[in-house]
Amino acid sequence: MTLQGLVQPFIIIAVMALLAKPFGTYLYKVFEGGSTFLDPILGPLERFAYKISGIDPQREMRWTTYGLSLLAVNLVGFVILFILLRIQEFLPLNPAHQSAVPFWVTFNTAISFVTNTNWQVYSGETTMSYLSQMWLVSQQFISPAIGITFLLVLVRGFSRQESKTVGNFWRDLVRGILWVGLPLALVGSVVLVWLGSPQNFNPYVHATTLQGSHQVIAQGPVASMTSIMQLGDNGGGFFNMNAAHPYAAPNAASLMFQEILGFLIPVGVIYMFGKMINKKRQAWAIFIAMSAMFLIGSVALYHFEAAGNPIINHIGLATHGNMEGKEVRFGVGTTSLFENTTTAVSWGSVAASNDSLTPLGGLVTLFNMNTGEVIFGSWGVGLMGMLGYVILAVFLAGLMVGRTPEFLGKKISAYEVKMASLFLLIPAFAILILTAISLTTHAGLSGIFNPGPHGLTEVAYAFSSGVANNGSAFGGLSSSSPWYSATVGLAMLIGRYPMYIPLLAVGGSLALKQRVPASAGTFPTEGPMFIGLLISTVVIVGALIFFPVYALGPIAEHFAMVAGKLF
Amino acid sequence: MQASPTNTQEEVQHDHESKKEPRKINALGDKALRKRAYKESFKKLGLRTMAHNPVMLTVEIGSILTTLDTIRYLFIGPSSAFWFTFQISIWLWLTVLFANFAEAIAEGSGQAQADALRKTRTDTNAKRETSPGQFEVVSASDLQKGDIVVLEAGDIIPGDGQVIEGIAAIDESAITGESAPVIRESGGDRDAVTGGTRVISDQIRVKITATKGNSFLDKMIALIEGAKRHKTPNEIALSLLLAGLTLIFLVVVITLAPIAAYSKVVVSITIFISLLVCLIPTTIGGLLSAIGISGMNRLLQANVLALSGRAVEAAGDVNVVLLDKTGTLTLGNRHATEFLAISGIQEAELAEAAFLSSLADETPEGRSIVDLAKNKFNLENPDATNFEFVPFTAQTRMSGVDFEGHEIRKGAVDSVLKWVGSDLVSETKEAVDSISRSGGTPLLVAKDNKLLGVIHLKDVVKQGISERLEELRKSGIRTVMITGDNPITAAAIAKEVGVDDFLAEATPERKMEYIKEMKAEGYMVGMVGDGTNDAPALAHADLAVAMNSGTMAAREAGNMVDLDSSPTKLIEIVEVGKQILITRGALTTFSIANDVAKYFAIIPAMFILAFPGLQALNIMQLTSPESAILSAVIFNAIIIPILIPLALKGVKYRPAGAGEILRRNILFYGFGGLIVPFIGIKLIDMLITSLHLVSLVK
């Protein structure tokens, strides 16, 4: 391990701590009122959008109406995407003459981009026409903005009292796209072009390499797609190999910039949450809990990767830890950080082949996703999931202070506990049941490239990534087979709607409640005690569910590796 | 309950709070109760009875399956597998039985109290008034609501009712355990009588207010027996969470079967069930209902009858308590502390006049004046044969004495001034005002139409009350003093006692308004009341404790009845409410934290054959897979009876801020929950190893 490699994650967190306030304040103004410097340009656009669609942005909605509107937008997005991918060969902007996308791949892809997962079972540059890529990009703006709308309902549950309504979905969505997604992506693209990524509509370049072999070098609007892919925590890269491709991340500076881009909104919404509830210390407590888990994960992953594989080390092949499947330009430290972040912040793009991570390194990425991607997570839903854990933690420990548990003055009663439990058990069921079925059916088993514990990790990772709406692939699995296209598609659906709608309901129910004034008898939720409690809840309640799978997958593989056996 | 200085009835103030034996039942120490609980534990095994507790139902179904597995091994062998499966089955059944026992023992101690009460519910005859002066003897069970009965000394009161005429001493020991008789009289705040109690003097006419089966005693028995015990809101929420966790681990274990099969590990159903039982929160699942029941019992032992479980829980949540000044914060009477003579009059002269006028005044205030004068000036009781005492009346608001042509009067400032027919000199006015400001009551003394001076009557703050209030403050509870005094006096006493706020010149309407305002701000309000005019405020409070000595209206408006009629009981009730919640939370945290150790015992044991490397996870160094699994199952079972005393007694509650309580409990039950099972499982494993109970093959 090098000092530079160790320090990197700490630098990222420090930068984020500095950016949280300005971005959080901006987000607060966008969604909860106040003016921003972009209003003169975007205001007319917003009013125009409402005018042509006949929306009254002032009309307040109950959480049910809000939720149905949200589902409707996603359904329409799914249908358009589905049709477009199936008939892309007849549509313009297709210089590479890509043909129709296969049915299950289309099913999977449409869900993937609607749910902000952006799991790609296709190879971007060899499957999609430019028009399809561009439409996918538009989904990359809509789906993360929808993530914020999810969060807004829950947070308004805390910030409002005795209110039947939780805001207007259309207004939140439009402002999320116009004020957040578009301007930031634009700035991001410009910086990425400056850092060396291409941005064009040229046909692919054909070249002959020094060894004389033929190579097709894909071109396209790489910078803009990379920008929103990172910013929106999407991960639907232009290239199949994502950030490991020299165009997507031409250098370390570009990679670092992309990391920061991915963190921006997930960190910003934490501060926005603090402003909405008027308790910034609470927001910082959550930020610290997430940061602690992020740093431990990053250092652990780096440690396992730097230690590498004892068998290979023994025969003297490796000198820099585990370099298998890693981009040589970045090295172990930077790549490890990127892989931890991609599963923590949920952007899902990779800079390495996760299949080649050491077993325990892979375990860290699984842990990040299985706990619901609450270590920052993607836009809105990351914090929303963490607040789900907060509700569980507050309920369990809150009883211990001798009062009906409450958080931010709102009593946590049976309804909230029931919904938070659903939030916990729905994704766990999806991952475990789909993994179990895949391991007992021919369709599932035939897609596994590596037998034994490694194969189990591959399957568990695919469903974990799907349910977590992460979109990164471990690899080593024929994910484009109809079985995995369909089941991972299902996992992505479950991990978006059934998982988070219970928390929407919590928001609706909390908004109705009156706030209890704080006193010395109130459960303290801002100090180190609470931070420790929250982390323990995530680890014990969230991850213990998967302990048997970890034991049979990565842990068994690790000890086998130590004993000299590889899978 | 605002005391006028000379109200004779105030003497019956209940100052005997801690004189009597609490009705304590030590459930675990009582042999008969234990015996009954053993039997009940088996009776509760019926699947339909178990259905109310999904956690333990899961364990029981698991026990049935492992028992079937045991029988299978009995026929197909090998005997080592039979022996192992047999022991696991035994311990799984014991887990269920231990949980049932916990519930049964908690119910049992309530049952014993109910039985004691039921004995008092003997059927008696009553004299029913048919028309004024005409009576017929009917059975108590034939009495209807609205009937009027006449009761004399020695009669058992046939049903709950309201005294409409007369005054009587009543022995209420049957329901309160308190042997000193209490006074019940018509037209006041003490007109309620309870069926089953006994008249020991005088005669009263009582209007029956409840029919048989609906009486206070019936309600009390029903509540104690748990026939009407509903789960409280927090208990429901916790049960849901426990059911959710059970469901999750059920899926974890069921899906583990194909995953294990993929990994080419052969695991028997008994081992899967052992894992499941160890992971689901059996400790709290087994003790949850015992905690709730014993909480109610603890209240009952404190002589408080909670009319609903919801009220008990609300008690823990209360963050504002309204406390009556008189009787709760201060003694029910004032004491004379000084004589302030006006210029030209000797203090001794004033003292003597005050002394003479108070000789016949049997109120505590009057006696305190006599005592003060005697102590200060060594006065002796005069020959009082020619004395004509003038008693206090509500109209004159004065009392005094006429003797040898002299007239002495003492009383409220304005009344005495009226009698004297003059105004206060500025010096006296200052003295009067300063007494009022300090929270005292000034009494003027005049002799023969001439003002002598002022007696300073002071409210005496109850001993230890300030400390209790400080404890409440530490727990984050605001204390509000309710008094009929004017704001100046109220402020002074509030300061002396140490309450956070006060409500002066309180009328029933103002009390109710105050409660409504606090509730609108999100506070949970607790109060004690006894009079009919307290009923509206009681009905609005979240925790409304009615005194048993109070009126029927107050009792009906409250959600708890304090049989001791002790005004400070509210504080104890709040503590019991908190204790129940803390106990539930602590055991839940303990239960969930236990899972970590159990995983480390069972997971390596399950898969070690296929992946020998997993031995590294066996951090407890348990002897063999079989001993590891059995140890975890045994630990999981015996932790329930070990924790029964804690569940029955409740986690100790020391008033403190939430942060401190949390730190203490997390350290104890959270970290304890992580560490204890590691030690416990290791010890059990060592025992199993030394006894060779299972195969020790690694």
Closest-CA distance, A516 to chain B, in angstroms, reads: 5
Looking at residue B4, its pLDDT comes to: 40
Q: Does residue B78 have a cis peptide bond before it, meaning omega lies within 30 degrees of 0?
A: yes
Question: Does residue A440 form part of some domain?
Answer: no
Report how many domains make up chain A: 1
d(CA A468, CA A546): 14
Closest-CA distance, B242 to chain A, in angstroms, reads: 9
The complex's ipTM works out to 0.90
| Model pLDDT for residues B435-479, shown as the tens digit of each residue | 877 778 888 888 888 888 888 888 778 777 888 888 888 888 889
CB atoms within 10 A of CB B696: 13
Question: Does residue A442 form part of some domain?
Answer: no
Contact A414 B666 (CB under 8 A): no
Question: Does residue A525 form part of some domain?
Answer: no
Looking at residue A296, its pLDDT comes to: 93
Under the banding of pLDDT at 50, 70 and 90, the label for residue A331 is confident
| Number of residues that make up chain B | 698
Report the catalytic residues of B. 324
Contact B476 A562 (CB under 8 A): no
Are B105 and B137 within 8 A, CB to CB? no
d(CA A472, CA A352): 10
Mean pLDDT of A238-242: 61
d(CA A19, CA A262): 12
Looking at residue A544, its pLDDT comes to: 85
Are A476 and A447 within 8 A, CB to CB? no
Angle at B648 between CA B644 and CA B651, to 5 degrees: 95
Question: Does residue A409 form part of some domain?
Answer: no
Q: Which long-range contacts (CB under 8 A, 24 or more apart) does A319-324 make?
A: A321/A1, A322/A356, A322/A357, A322/A358, A322/A361, A324/A353, A324/A356
| Model pLDDT for residues B349-398, shown as the tens digit of each residue | 888 888 888 888 777 788 888 888 888 888 888 777 778 888 877 677 78
More confident residue, A566 or A24: A24
CB atoms within 10 A of CB B388: 11
Amino acid at B666: I
CA distances from A5 to A290, A324, A333, A342 (A): 20, 17, 4, 17
Give the pairing type, strands B192-193 and B161-165: antiparallel
Cβ-based contacts of B668 with chain A (< 8 Å)? none
Contact B669 A519 (CB under 8 A): no
Looking at residue A48, its pLDDT comes to: 92
Under the banding of pLDDT at 50, 70 and 90, the label for residue B100 is very high
The candidate with the shortest Cα–Cα distance to A422, out of A326, A504, A485, is A504
Cβ-based contacts of B589 with chain A (< 8 Å)? 396-397, 400
Cβ-based contacts of A413 with chain B (< 8 Å)? 233-234, 237
The answer for B 223-242 residues in CB contact with A (under 8 A) is 233-234, 236-238, 240-241
Under the banding of pLDDT at 50, 70 and 90, the label for residue A243 is low
| Model pLDDT for residues B404-439, shown as the tens digit of each residue | 888 888 888 888 888 888 777 777 788 888 887 777
| Number of residues that make up chain A | 567
- Across the interface, of B474, B577, B669, the residue whose CB is closest to A520 is B474
Closest-CA distance, A122 to chain B, in angstroms, reads: 28
Under the banding of pLDDT at 50, 70 and 90, the label for residue A315 is low
Looking at residue B337, its pLDDT comes to: 85
d(CA B236, CA B229): 13
Lowest average pLDDT, out of A245-254, A307-316, B129-138, goes to: A307-316
Q: Which residue has the tokens 């439409």?
A: A135
Whether the predicted pLDDT of B12 surpasses 50: no
Looking at residue B684, its pLDDT comes to: 95
Looking at residue A235, its pLDDT comes to: 62
User: For residue B259, what are its two tokens?
Assistant: 């995953």
Mean pLDDT of A401-429: 92
d(CA B313, CA A110): 50
| Model pLDDT for residues B129-148, shown as the tens digit of each residue | 888 778 888 887 788 888 88
Mean pLDDT of A47-62: 91
Mean pLDDT of B559-580: 83
Lowest average pLDDT, out of A142-151, A164-173, B287-296, goes to: B287-296
Three-state helix/strand/coil letters over B496-523: HHCCCEEECCCCHHHHHHHHHHHHHCCC
Whether the predicted pLDDT of A289 surpasses 80: yes
Burial of A295 (0-12, 13-18, 19+ CB in 10 A): middle
Decide if A523 touches B, using CB distance below 8 A. Answer: yes
Highest mean pLDDT among A182-191, B23-32, B237-246, B363-372: B237-246
CA distances from A502 to A161, A341, A416, A423, B244 (A): 19, 27, 9, 6, 14
Closest-CA distance, A546 to chain B, in angstroms, reads: 8
Collapsing DSSP to helix, strand or coil, A520 comes out as coil
Looking at residue A241, its pLDDT comes to: 57
Contact B596 A549 (CB under 8 A): no
User: For residue A380, what are its two tokens?
Assistant: 């809105």
Under the banding of pLDDT at 50, 70 and 90, the label for residue B346 is confident
CA distances from B284 to A99, A422, A543, B430 (A): 60, 20, 21, 65
Give the percent of chain B with pLDDT over 90: 21
Under the banding of pLDDT at 50, 70 and 90, the label for residue A385 is very high
Which neighbouring-strand residues pair with B205?
Answer: B150, B165
Q: To which H or E segment does residue B361 belong?
A: none
Under the banding of pLDDT at 50, 70 and 90, the label for residue A238 is low
Q: Which residue has the tokens 């420990």?
A: A397
Our CA dihedral for B229, B230, B233, B237, rounded to 10 degrees, sits at 110
Looking at residue B19, its pLDDT comes to: 38
| Model pLDDT for residues B303-333, shown as the tens digit of each residue | 888 877 788 888 888 889 888 887 778 776 7
Highest mean pLDDT among B217-221, B436-440, B666-670: B666-670
CA distances from B157 to B154, B223, B546, B548 (A): 9, 22, 21, 15
Looking at residue A172, its pLDDT comes to: 94
CA distances from A56 to A46, A147, A170, B406, B502 (A): 12, 22, 9, 89, 49
Contact A556 B263 (CB under 8 A): yes
A381-398 vs A130-159: helix axis angle to the nearest 10? Answer: 30
d(CA B346, CA B354): 13
Under the banding of pLDDT at 50, 70 and 90, the label for residue A473 is confident
The answer for B 123-182 residues in CB contact with A (under 8 A) is none
Mean pLDDT of B239-268: 91
Cβ-based contacts of B595 with chain A (< 8 Å)? 540, 544
Decide if A398 touches B, using CB distance below 8 A. Answer: yes
Cβ-based contacts of A545 with chain B (< 8 Å)? 248-249, 252
Looking at residue B308, its pLDDT comes to: 76
Question: Does residue A240 form part of some domain?
Answer: yes
DSSP per-residue letters across B159-175: S-EEEEE-EEEEE-HHH
Give the percent of chain A with pLDDT over 70: 90
Give the percent of chain A with pLDDT over 90: 42
User: For residue A342, what are its two tokens?
Assistant: 């991609």
Mean pLDDT of B551-567: 80
Decide if A395 touches B, using CB distance below 8 A. Answer: yes
Mean pLDDT value across chain B = 83
pTM here is 0.85
Contact A424 B585 (CB under 8 A): no
Question: Does residue A306 form part of some domain?
Answer: no
The answer for B 306-345 residues in CB contact with A (under 8 A) is 313, 316-317, 319
Angle at B101 between CA B99 and CA B104, to 5 degrees: 115
Mean pLDDT value across chain A = 86
Closest-CA distance, A314 to chain B, in angstroms, reads: 19
Decide if B603 touches A, using CB distance below 8 A. Answer: yes
Our CA dihedral for A275, A277, A281, A287, rounded to 10 degrees, sits at -80
| Model pLDDT for residues B14-72, shown as the tens digit of each residue | 333 333 444 555 666 778 888 888 888 898 888 888 888 899 999 999 999 999 999 99
Mean pLDDT of A64-84: 93
Under the banding of pLDDT at 50, 70 and 90, the label for residue A102 is confident
The answer for B 453-482 residues in CB contact with A (under 8 A) is 473-478
Collapsing DSSP to helix, strand or coil, A453 comes out as helix
- Across the interface, of A416, A432, A527, the residue whose CB is closest to B252 is A432
Under the banding of pLDDT at 50, 70 and 90, the label for residue A278 is very high
| Model pLDDT for residues B486-520, shown as the tens digit of each residue | 788 888 888 888 889 998 888 878 888 899 998 88
Collapsing DSSP to helix, strand or coil, B156 comes out as strand
Looking at residue A153, its pLDDT comes to: 96
Contact A404 B238 (CB under 8 A): no
Decide if A190 touches B, using CB distance below 8 A. Answer: no
The answer for B 509-538 residues in CB contact with A (under 8 A) is 521-524
d(CA A337, CA A358): 14
Whether the predicted pLDDT of A389 surpasses 90: yes
Contact A425 B244 (CB under 8 A): yes
The range of the structural domain enclosing residue A126 comes to 22-208+215-269
Amino acid at A337: L
Contact A400 B234 (CB under 8 A): no
Looking at residue B68, its pLDDT comes to: 95
Decide if B653 touches A, using CB distance below 8 A. Answer: yes
Contact B233 A409 (CB under 8 A): no
Across B70-107, b (16+ Cβ under 10 Å) vs e yields bebbeeeeeeebbbbbbbbbbbbbbbbbbbbbbbbbbb
| Residues whose CB falls within 8 Å of the CB of residue B640, separated by 6 or more in sequence, listed in order | B95, B98, B99, B102, B282, B283, B286, B287
Contact A397 B589 (CB under 8 A): yes
Are B277 and B269 within 8 A, CB to CB? no
Are B665 and B658 within 8 A, CB to CB? no
| Model pLDDT for residues A459-471, shown as the tens digit of each residue | 999 999 899 888 7
- Across the interface, of B475, B603, B662, the residue whose CB is closest to A400 is B662
Q: To which H or E segment does residue B181 belong?
A: none
Looking at residue B395, its pLDDT comes to: 73
Contact B233 A516 (CB under 8 A): no
Whether the predicted pLDDT of A211 surpasses 90: no
The candidate with the shortest Cα–Cα distance to A398, out of A233, A545, A537, is A537
Decide if A443 touches B, using CB distance below 8 A. Answer: no
d(CA A497, CA B258): 27
B54-76 vs B269-279: helix axis angle to the nearest 10? Answer: 160
Task: Establish, for the pair of chains A and B, how many residue pairs have beta carbons separated by less than 8 Å.
Answer: 212
Question: Does residue A48 form part of some domain?
Answer: yes
d(CA B554, CA B532): 5
Closest-CA distance, A524 to chain B, in angstroms, reads: 6
The candidate with the shortest Cα–Cα distance to B91, out of B670, B629, B544, is B629
Question: Does residue A349 form part of some domain?
Answer: no
Are B377 and B352 within 8 A, CB to CB? yes
Decide if A555 touches B, using CB distance below 8 A. Answer: yes
Cβ-based contacts of A548 with chain B (< 8 Å)? 252, 256, 259, 275, 603
CB atoms within 10 A of CB B170: 22
Mean pLDDT of A63-84: 93
Looking at residue B1, its pLDDT comes to: 36
Mean pLDDT of A400-426: 91
d(CA A173, CA A142): 8
Give the percent of chain B with pLDDT over 70: 92
Burial of A292 (0-12, 13-18, 19+ CB in 10 A): middle
Mean pLDDT of B516-541: 84
Closest-CA distance, A370 to chain B, in angstroms, reads: 13
